[in-house]
Amino acid sequence: GIQVEQSPPDLILQEGANSTLRCNFSDSVNNLQWFHQNPWGQLINLFYIPSGTKQNGRLSATTVATERYSLLYISSSQTTDSGVYFCAVVTGGFKTIFGAGTRLFVKA
């Protein structure tokens, strides 16, 4: 089946720093979503981005479907950005496969 790899697995940032999270996938996908899981477990939709670039405030994402990767940019990080960031892809059979996640901790 399709493989979804996220990097880095863990990331510690000083407040105000920028970062880039990467998601590689092994096969063509119907779409791709980025999520932030908060400390209480709630998954927050960040981007639905099967291709192209989108921006929402300090966050932006780019997916290059032909090269099978997506990037999530976090600028001017804040402590509230801490948590786990998941990339999830939807296969041709409409199954959603999650990557292992990137655990982000932003220090004050």
Q: By CB under 8 A, name the binding residues for another protein.
A: 30-31, 33, 35, 40-43, 45, 48, 86, 88, 90, 94-101, 103
Closer residue to another protein (CB): 1 or 14: 1
Tokens of 60: 């932006």
CB 61 to another protein: min, Å: 14
Amino acid identity for residue 102 in this structure: T
Looking at beta carbons only, is 14 or 45 nearer to another protein? Answer: 45
Structure tokens at 92: 């041709």
Instruction: Tell which residue, 108, 105, 107, has the closest CA to residue 39.
Output: 105
